[in-house]
Amino acid sequence: MGADLLKLALCGDVMLGRGVDQILPHPGDPELREPYVGDARSYVVLAEEASGEIPMPVDYRWPWGEALRVLEEAAPDAWVVNLETGVTRSGDFAPGKAVHYRMNPENLESLVVTRPDVCVLANNHVLDFGRRGLEETLDALAKAGLRTAGAGRDEEEAWRPAIIDLPGGGRVLVFSFGMPSSGIPPGWAATDDRPGVAYVPQPSPRQAAAIGERVRRTKRPGDVVIASVHWGSNWGYDISRDQMRFAHILINSGVDVVHGHSSHHPRPVERYRNGLVLYGCGDLIDDYEGISGYAEYRDELRLLYFVTLRPGEPADLRMAPLRARRMRLERAGHEDAAWLAAVLDRTGKRLGSRVALGPDDMLTLRAG
């Protein structure tokens, strides 16, 4: 690294489409083709029934709520989000999918307000409105000055890492790719002549080694590498041996942080050698409020992840607990923060990970 320390901020799924798009200043077409819901505004109704009235239209900062202050106080050197929605007016609903996410490009300011350094796109919703929708998404993000990784107009572009130049020298490289276990259809894979996502068929040692070779070809002395992977099921705390082995190979190949997402709630974290593995960061912004089922996972509780890297030392991790209410992020109360810490501590023991709650109600990965 070009400096004595580097501070990263990361999060899981940022789903500004569907119901969230409907409360913003420029709601797009609300049409849906879900088995039980045909109008995105239905998700707004559910949220209001669960938590109270939403003052529509909200301003662009509303969905982020207190997360904006948390990010400002942390002052990260790089901020990476998984943008899990198309940014498009396309009506080309992807066939064979039960759920489609899109946000009106005119509402993109609701993402820009957080000034993300990289939006990773290799996920199971970025092509919900076809390749035309993906190309519009790429154009809209580029026009807004936002770097992307994980999707592109061809395979080369999809696999190209986003690069953040650091003021003190060195760079942050963000590789983004996704797997079918998260719901990405194999046909969404980018090819030489077809837009799509950076697609990995399975978390095998061979696939991990191939990504490791990409890292070695690109990484320079002083660089930091984030491997952002959309994988795994929506619910549960189990981490498969294949996922663990895959993540460890990546770190052995020069990756500093494995940034996993797809689960709707936070999954265990692991410090491996000097690197860090976030197996599932959980949702940060979505429109699931008021939807019943899976209550034991308390998916209304969210985390922002803050990683500190120092040359030659193990990575430090602090996590800020938040709570979704009226489609807005609030600071989680002490009891909610304690619940999250206890769950991640219990479920991380198999990985040798212990999580503690600090006096400031921040979660901390204990030194191993």
Q: Please name the residues in contact with 95: beta carbons below 8 A apart, sequence gap of 6 or more.
A: none
Task: Please tell me the predicted confidence (pLDDT) of residue 4.
Answer: 79
Average pLDDT, the chain: 97
Per residue in 210-243, pLDDT (tens digit) is 999 999 999 999 999 999 999 999 999 999 999 9
Find tokens 């498969």 and name the residue. 240
- Distance between CA 232 and CA 279 in Å, rounded? 9
- CA 360 vs. chain centroid, Å, equals 25
Asked if 247 contacts 240 with a C-beta cutoff of 8 angstroms, the reply is no
How wide is the angle at C-alpha 199 spanned by C-alphas 194 and 201, nearest 5°? 125
Q: What is the mean pLDDT of residues 95-109?
A: 97
User: Is 148 in a helix, a strand, or coil?
Assistant: strand
- Distance between CA 21 and CA 101 in Å, rounded? 9
- Distances from the Cα of 342 to the Cαs of 191, 293, 296, 347, 364, in angstroms? 44, 22, 14, 9, 11
Task: Please tell me the predicted confidence (pLDDT) of residue 367.
Answer: 72
Asked if 9 contacts 71 with a C-beta cutoff of 8 angstroms, the reply is yes
User: Is 117 in a helix, a strand, or coil?
Assistant: coil
With CA atoms as reference, report the closest residue to 24 among 133, 106, 115: 106
Amino acid (1-letter code) at residue 130: G
End-to-end CA distance of the chain: 23
Q: What is the mean pLDDT of residues 283-306?
A: 96
User: Is 151 in a helix, a strand, or coil?
Assistant: strand
Beta strands in the chain, from DSSP E residues, in sequence order: 6-14, 78-83, 86-87, 102-103, 118-120, 147-149, 151-152, 162-165, 171-178, 196-197, 224-230, 257-261, 269-272, 275-278, 283-285, 301-309, 316-325, 328-331, 355-357, 363-365
- Distance between CA 74 and CA 79 in Å, rounded? 10
Q: How many CA atoms lie within 13 Å of 171's alpha carbon, on the beta-carbon side?
A: 14
- CA 345 vs. chain centroid, Å, equals 21
Q: Classify the C-alpha dihedral 150-154-155-161 as positive or negative.
A: negative
Asked if 265 contacts 233 with a C-beta cutoff of 8 angstroms, the reply is no
Asked if 357 contacts 338 with a C-beta cutoff of 8 angstroms, the reply is yes
% of the chain beyond a pLDDT of 70: 99
- Distance between CA 114 and CA 282 in Å, rounded? 18
User: Is 155 in a helix, a strand, or coil?
Assistant: helix
Q: Please name the residues in contact with 194: beta carbons below 8 A apart, sequence gap of 6 or more.
A: 131, 154
- Helices vs. strands in the chain: H and E counts, helices first: 9, 20
- CA 3 vs. chain centroid, Å, equals 26
Task: Please tell me the predicted confidence (pLDDT) of residue 289.
Answer: 96
Task: Please tell me the predicted confidence (pLDDT) of residue 330.
Answer: 98
pLDDT at 325 over 80: yes
Task: Please tell me the predicted confidence (pLDDT) of residue 2.
Answer: 45
Per residue in 126-139, pLDDT (tens digit) is 999 999 999 999 99
Per residue in 43-55, pLDDT (tens digit) is 999 999 999 999 9
Task: Please tell me the predicted confidence (pLDDT) of residue 3.
Answer: 52
- Distance between CA 286 and CA 81 in Å, rounded? 13
